[in-house]
Structure 1
Amino acid sequence: MAHHLQASVPVNIHLTTSIEHEGEKEVFELMLSGEFQEKNGSFFLKYNEVQEEGTIQTVVKFSDQSAVILRSGAVNMRLPFHEKEQMNGSYTSPHGTLAMSTRTSKLLHSRAYNESRLEGRLQLDYHLLMQGTAVGSYTLDLLFKST
């Protein structure tokens, strides 16, 4: 099996997000179906989230140094990550657009193919600021496996 996949591979995604803010910690877990694609040295995970506001299409693009989460549909969000750098993004909902920025302390990803099965992981640790105000420390752990 070629290790440079152009076609998308169906994957099961286990997404764990923990948020720490003012001494409180919340953990959210989602089990999703999506697809993984490798293109020009970047990796793409695509999945849909169904929320009260409607369906949100999410694309997570990542490479060695950076990542970006793009969401469109019920909300539009662009959240970029680059290790040790502050990056600016935005969040647009029917209520307006908010400026967001991330300071990423850890960005790790791995993937392995064994016997034509794909397994991978993306880990992000970051501080999130909204309109310049810190809203918490986030840890995102995204595990994916071909179905």
Structure 2
Amino acid sequence: MDQLSTGVPVMIHLETHIKQDDNVSDYQLDVDGQLVQMGQNLYLRYLEPNDETGEKTPVTMKFTSEGEVHLTRNAEAELRLHFVSGKRVTARYKTPYGIMPIETVTPYLETSFKERPFSGNVKIDYLLYAGEELVGNYKIRLQFTA
């Protein structure tokens, strides 16, 4: 895994299922990214295209040795989500108007990585709360291959 310290190009397939109130939407993305190892953590980075504006949003997923996942989206509003299996944890949503406190509850979290070829599979089911109000129910399915 020595080359991971300098970064390895990966192909990413991402599927997201979102349920907010009675609205359900599905999103798929196939994009090139980069996987980097720093210390005990793995970082998966990619640019998420916005079809409406043509801009690209930097996204980073951090995988810790403890099995936690951190997701950061650096758009006009910065979103930082933290997933810990079976726990409710504080996250952050920084808008141009201020910081909105949010929380994630992660009933299901699974990450698996293989070395040859280097690849990964990530499954996250989570509930997103703003205060005590449920914002939505989300499922992330992500695969990547070097």
Hey, which of these two has a bigger chunk of strand by percent?
A: 1
Asked if 1:70 corresponds to 2:69, the answer is no
AA at the equivalent of 1:84: G
Partner residue in 2 for 1:41: 40
Superimposed CA distance per residue, residues 80-137 of structure 1 (whole angstroms, 9 cap, x where no aligned partner): 11111111111123344322110001111111122xx222111111111124310121
Match of 2:8 in 1: 9
Normalised by the length of structure 1, the TM-score is 0.85
1:44-63 alignment runs, 5 A limit: 44-51=43-50, 52=53, 54-63=55-64
**SS of corresponding position for 1:58:** strand
Q: How many Å separate the matches in 1 of 2:108 and 2:44?
A: 19
Matched AA of 1:50:
P
Aligned residues: 143
- Identical amino acids, percent of aligned pairs: 25
Structure 2 portions without partners, runs of 5+: none
Contact 1:89 1:99 in 2 (8 A): yes
Q: What secondary structure does 1:5 align onto?
A: helix
Gaps of 5+ in 1: none
The CA deviation at 1:67 is 0.9
Q: Taking structure 2 as the reference length, what is the TM-score of the superposition? A: 0.86
Aligned-CA RMSD value: 2.0
1:120 paired residue number? 120
Give the match's secondary structure for 2:5.
coil
Q: Distance in 2 between matches of 1:11 and 1:79?
A: 22
Contact 2:67 2:111 in 1 (8 A): no
